[in-house]
Amino acid sequence: MSNTTARTVESSQKSVRWGLRVTLAVAGAAVTGLAMVAPVQAEPLWPGGPDIPGVPAIIPAAPPGMAPQPFSVPGSLNPTITPGNGAIVGGKRSIDITYKTPIIDRTAAENSIVISPSANVPGSFEWINDTHVQWNPDEYWPRNTAVTVNVAGTTSAFRVSDDFTSVGDASSHEFVVKIGGDVVKTFPASFGKPGHESPNGSFKVLEKFSEMVMDSSTYGVPITAPEGYKLDVEYATRVTWGGIFVHAAPWSTGSQGNSNVSHGCINLSTENAKWFFDNVRNGDTVNIQGA
């Protein structure tokens, strides 16, 4: 065979290979709905292309046992998470995640966020804008809850404050509970009536009784006197050795939140007194004001 004939055959074989690659690419584009005009382009060989501008490369399926990336946004990896690692936060603190690039598929983004608290805390997402999503607890974080957040390989581990403080205001007839400075509960309450005012000041929880008998004779008032009493009381939390408690008072729920009718104690509904009893600890602070 002459040199001229060899070059002609070689050129013809290359044309066949190129035409075959174009045919495959156009067929693939037709399946995916892509429209294209392809200029002549030199190798690389197929697969691994694209050989033609505008035709995507073949992407292999995820290996067995590995989930594909839920969403892919250039620059969205390594988002910012607050609270940051090691932070101590209040009981109403949201989790804020900020991406570098606007997120189009918000559901996929939410599904990729893993929040792992040490206590079961339901909550929900709220998008502030296209790059900022917030997760909020439905009610509050319990005291001392440890929380780990993982988003696209970025991790933050923080903790909820163990500071549990209550403020009873006799003038507004409210009993407010704070965790780490955040208000997590506000209860209607009744305080000491005129002549039996609750003491103003800052007190520590001394002891707790799920059930007890309160007897006015223990501080010198006979139970048969007009101001005497002997009552079975639930969820009693002592704040002074002189007999001031936060306790359930189902008999005064009609006054709780609007008037003061007790003999000095802080009256709450049975449900609210139980919540306080279950969450407060000895040594926690109870402040009373406005009495």
* Catalytic residue status for 265: yes
DSSP symbols for 116-162? EESS---EEEEEEETTEEEEEESS-PPTT-EEEEEETTEEEEEEE--
* C-alpha count within 13 angstroms, C-beta hemisphere, residue 250: 8
β-sheet with 174-179: strand ranges across: 182-188, 174-179, 164-169, 285-289, 201-204
- Nearest one of 252, 248, 276 to 262, comparing CA atoms: 252
CB neighbour burial string for 147-161, b if at least 16 within 10 angstroms, e if fewer: bebebbeeebbbbbb
Residue 139 in contact with residue 119, Cβ under 8 Å?
Answer: no
* Structure tokens belonging to residue 189: 């309450």
- Annotated active-site residue in 132, 173, 196, 265: 265
* Catalytic residue status for 263: no
Neighbouring residues of 67: CB distance < 8 A, sequence distance ≥ 6: none
Phi, psi of 265 (to 5 degrees): -75, 165
Show which residues are catalytic.
Answer: 247, 265
